Structure formats: C-alpha cells, structure tokens
Structure 1
C-alpha cells in the first residue's frame, strides 16, 4: 500500500514539473520574439491614430441629432434645407461659390471657435451649387499661409428638378476661343447624373463629346481641348434627368488670336496743331485680349499746377475679320482753352496683367 502511494506521488510530481517547464519555455520564447540579437528590444508597431490623418477630409456636414457626415469629393443635397459645415482646427479659412461673396449674401455666415469653424448656408438653391472648401491656416509670427496638406474640398450639388442647370445672371454669355488653351462652355448642372449634350444653333447640329477633343465635366461644363475657328457660333446645352429635358442659356463662341503680352499702345493728339485758347484731345488706344482689363495713367505738363482736365475711358470689341475679335480700350484726356503751362510732353502709362507700356507725344504751341 505504501509503495502504491509513493508511485502515485512520484507521477504527480513529474507531471507538475513538465507543465512548469513548458510554461517557462513559452514565456522565454515570447520574450525572445521581442529581443533582437545583441540584447536590443524590438518596439511593437503603433496603431495608426483614428481621424486627422493626411488625405482624410476634416470637412464634415452636421446632420440631425448631432450626427456628423465626413464629406467626400462631391455631395448631392436637396435644396431648401439649411446646410451646416464644420472644419476642425483653431484657425480655419473657407471658400465657396464666388457669387455668394459678390452679393454679400446674408444667407451665408461663418463662425469660428477654439476647436472648429462653422459655415452655415440657409435656404440653399440650385444657384448655390459649387465647390465648398476649408483649410488650416498656419502662422509664423505675423505671416500666415494656407496649409495645402490640410485643405479639403467637396463639390456640393443642390439637386433641383426644376433647374437642371446652375442658374446664371448672364442669359447670353460670350466664350472666347484661343488656339493655345482649352475653352469651357460653362453649362454646369445641379444633378451629376444628368445626361448633357452641346448643340449649335445655326446650322442646327450636336457637337459630340468624344472624351478627347470635347469632354464634359458636370462641375465645369463642356471643355474644348483644341478650339478652332470652326467652333464659332451660338451654342446651348441640353440636359435630361428623370426623362425631363431642359435647355441652358445661350453661349456665343468667338475665336480670338491675340498674343498675350504687355499693352500694344498708340497715342494721338487732335487737332494736330494747336495754339493758345484751343481745345485738344489726346487719345491713348490699346488693342488686346477681349476680356483683359487695361488701366491708364496720365502725366501732362500742367499736372503740378493742378490744371483741370477731363479723362474719359472706355472699351469695345472689334471684329478684325474671319471671326477674330480683339478689345479696343481707350482713354481720352481733354484740355480746354490751352495755356502756356499746357504745352509740352503728354505721357500715357498703360498696364495689364502681362506688364506695362508707356508712350508719349510732345505738343508745341503754334505761334499766331
């Protein structure tokens, strides 16, 4: 009996000893997996932090009951219902469709707090369709700039079944075609699913979008990659959604072949010969691109004496033949009842985004 008891105790001791060794071995193996040769411990990889990572949008829409929706590159919303957007950060900048700024629309407001910035648009309509974006502003002392790595944009469509095209205050818009750059016929839609086509009015025909020379982008309109004189004429766009067709405003496409450069200026005085007591008009003329504004600045002999003069500035489009259109800008300086201080050099300084040009002419007194 005693021998049997001794054998049982011996077997139990062996089993316990083997289990403890196995557990110690597992601990050792686990420890070795975290230690490199040489005794250096390997750090466990950190889990990526949730939210705020580069490439993730911090632009969100506030929904009912305090819920948030992170906006993607485009969003479709119903018109009429107020929209609240938020962007995380203590210093945030915003952009939105330009006409909301141009008309100082009271429906739009922006408020800032310590943790986020809020954009609120009440009673949105089809006209409010466009890009809405926010970005983090970073400052170094008094100098601040936009952080392009933390800039987020969403193109918001306000899908109005009665307005498939984004309304415009211009009912007959001019589109200039240039041989060196794409041209855009800006018939944007409020429904990204609408099927849109481009049509010439006379002769009536459809200009097919072929994904190479003519493409369609619902956020821009039809893009003509290589405009030519053959694309001139009056066009309109047609959109169909849910079986209902609609027609856009009309667009007059004009071909332009004017080089981009500082102003090309001419200066002329009329009459050519003057004497004391006469009136004179000095005309400064600039030919340039149709939509490029030109500024004028005059220097004249009686300026330091505060001589009263009249200056009239205007511009018009000029057809140069074969459909080529240019812009003629003019500034006319008028001096009445010429005096001794009025004779001398008249200088016209013109400026456009490409540079400036100065021309001058000398007006002398013709003795009686």
Structure 2
C-alpha cells in the first residue's frame, strides 16, 4: 500500500472517532441537563409550597378595609384616628367575633356584623377612645347543628383609637376596686389610647410615685400596671398619670384591697335567735358566708312550715377587714318568722352556693 493512501485512511478514522464522541456527548448532555433542572425544580418549589401552606394556616385572618378598595392585613396592634368608621373583615364561611365587652353591655347600635359567603364583616361607626381594645375573630366549625370555635385559627389585633383629649381609655367606673391575692397577679387597669404615652403610677396617701422596675411592677399599655406578686404593702388608693408634649392627664382612682380567702365552696355558719321557743314567739335564723370579695353567693332555705307559713327572708353583703388589712366579703341571709306555731318547730336548713360549689348547714328549733 502506498504511504500517502495509508495516511489518508488514518486521518479519516481519526475524524470519524471524534465525530462519534461528540455525538455521544451531545446525547448525554440533554439527559444530564434535564436531571439537574429537575433537581432544581424540586428543591426550588417544595419550600415555597410549604411556606405558602404555613402562611395560610398561621397568617392573620383579619384585614382592615381602607379607602378605594385597599386592604391592610392586621398584626398584633393598630393605631387609628377616632371618628372615621372602622371596617374589619375576617376570612371564613362562618365566623365568630370578640370585641370590647362594653359594646355588648350597652347594646351599642354603632356596631354591626354581617356574614358574607367567604368572609364576615364588622363595622364600627364613629369610633372613639372608649372603643380601644382587642378585636379578634375565628372560624366556626359545624357538624350538623353543633358548632364550635376553631381553637387553632384565632386572629387578634389590639386597636388604639388615639385622642389627644383622652389619654386614658374612658371608663364608666370612676372609683374601681382591685383585689390583691397572694397567689395570682393583679392589674391596675389604667389603659391608654396610644402605646407611646408615658404613664406613671401614684399612691394617694402618702402621696408618692410608685417605682416601676419591670419586675415587681411593670406597665403594659393594653392592660395597665401589672403586679405579679401582690403583697399587703400594695394596698391603698392609687391613680395613674399620663403625659404627652401637649397634655397631662390623671386617671380614675383605684382602691387596692388585699384578699387572703381560699377559693372554694362557701364556708357557712348558721345561728338561731334561740334553739327553744314557745308558741307565739318570734324566730330569727341567720346564715353567714365569709368568702372572696367579688364572688356572689346564692341562698336557699328549707324549713318545717314551708309553703304554709309566711316568712320574711332578707339577704345582704358587705366588705370587712380581718387582721393585717385583709378584705373579706360577708354575705348573709336572715329568715324571720313571727308568732311561732306547732308546725314551725323542727329543722331549718340553709344552702349557700357560689361558682365553686354548694354547702348546707342546719339548726334545730324545739318547743319549750
């Protein structure tokens, strides 16, 4: 074979080998590219889906309707000017609402709630500083006729209606009693209409400003002054003072009373004017309960001539101080029976009931 022909054949074989290698690489690269892109898509998309789902579950359901159809998703708090109507919306086909209690107490016609197909609408017309407070909503889950609040999806926003003439949230109670208990925190409820207002706590007698160190006493604009561990030294008459660059204002007064009465069913005693009487005598039986100052007590009686003899039953209560300034509520029910007859002798039972339970006591009246 001629040398030049051999050289041509070698060159052709070399070119063919290079071409097949490039073709093989070209065939592999699309596959490799698809694998990398597929990996990127999985890694890039899944976190976004998770974030979106998480935001949908944990995000606020509450929005404020602004002018021209704009919406503001609400966070923990909101500061608005009074006077302009407030419209809130809450997502859900069936929604429950909570708002400052006095709006219900006085059946305020300024508040209206309407349920639409996909959201509920709360409108408060002509809001004022008094409307400052927490507004919240939640989906209502129904199974047939039974409905309940969805505990995992409640959205709340504390709304301040700022007013330069009302630094404190107005209250209908001008002298309020605050009970101090050693086993639970107490609050002096001088709430403000703007979280930026400077507030101080003052004792009336002796006149002094109470130091607020953040540990023994702290201030929360949505609640007032917090006393985590009340003690007898915290008793007295107090007031709050709010200051801005333009104004200085004094709050209502608060009487702080120390209570050391255990919570539970009523502790009851019963006492008759006499355990032995004769016909024609008068009878008085007193049923007495000592308990927590704000816990109401209901009395019922069972006695021999019940339904056949006229009796007079009168109830009353008052606060009393017992040792070291502790304050206790004394509740009494007095049964009076005039002109005793044979049918009136026997066992008299007094039942006292409070939110913790019921206690019964009895006494026996015999003829002489």
- TM-score, normalised via structure 1 length: 0.87
Deviations 1:226-278 (A, max 9, x none): 21111111111011123421110111111122122221111112244333333
Partner of 1:84: 87
TM-score under structure 2 normalisation?
Answer: 0.87
Cα–Cα, structure 1 residues 16 and 129, in superposed 2: closer, same or farther, change >3 Å? farther
Task: Please state how far the C-alpha of 1:191 moved relative to its aligned partner.
Answer: 0.6
**1:340 offset after TM fit, Å?**
2.8
Contact 1:300/1:347 (8 A) holds in 2? yes
Q: Is the 8 A contact 1:137 1:147 kept in 2?
A: yes
1:100 match: secondary structure = helix
User: Residues 16 and 158 of structure 1: is their aligned pair in 2 closer, same or farther, counting only changes over 3 Å?
Assistant: farther
Q: Does 1:230 align with 2:233?
A: yes
1:1-368 correspondence to structure 2 within 5 Å: 24-33=27-36, 45-46=45-46, 47-48=48-49, 49=52, 53-303=56-306, 305-366=307-368
Asked whether the equivalents of residues 34 and 43 of structure 1 are also in contact (C-alpha less than 8 Å), the reply is no
Q: Mean alpha-carbon deviation: is it higher for 273-282 or for 130-139?
A: 273-282
What RMSD, in angstroms, separates the aligned Cα atoms of the two structures?
Answer: 2.6
Tell whether the 8 Å contact from 2:274 to 2:365 is kept in structure 1 after alignment: no
The answer to whether the 8 Å contact 2:63/2:74 transfers is: yes
Question: Residues of 2 paired with 1:14 and 1:65: CA distance?
Answer: 72
- The residue matched to 1:139 in structure 2 has which SS? strand
What SS does the corresponding residue of 1:138 show, helix, strand or coil? strand
Render the CA deviation track for 1:96-151: whole Å, top value 9, x for unaligned: 11111111111111111221111111111111111100001112333322112110
Q: Secondary structure at the match of 1:301?
A: coil
Corresponding residue pairs, total? 349
Residues in 2 aligned to 1:214 and 1:152: alpha-carbon distance in whole angstroms: 29
1:15 and 1:82 map into 2 onto residues whose CA distance is 80
C-alpha displacement at 1:329, in angstroms?
0.4
Which deviations, in whole Å up to 9, do the C-alpha atoms of 1:335-360 show, x marking residues without a partner?
Answer: 23333332221111111222221101
More deviation, 162-171/239-248: 239-248
1:30 aligned counterpart, secondary structure: helix
> In structure 1, how many angstroms separate the alpha carbons of the residues matched to 2:108 and 2:220?
27
* Counterpart residue number, 2:6: none
Unpaired runs of 5+ residues, structure 1, are 1-12, 37-41
The verdict on how the C-alpha distance between 1:103 and 1:29 changes in structure 2, with shifts beyond 3 A counting, is same
Matched residue of 1:148: which SS? Answer: coil
Can you list the C-alpha shifts for 1:198-247, whole angstroms capped at 9, x where unaligned? 01111111111111111100111001112111111111101112342111
Higher helix share: 2
SS at match of 1:32: helix
Conserved? CA contact 2:275–2:364, under 8 Å: no
Using a 3 Å threshold, how does the CA distance of structure 1 residues 241 and 337 change in structure 2: closer, same or farther?
same
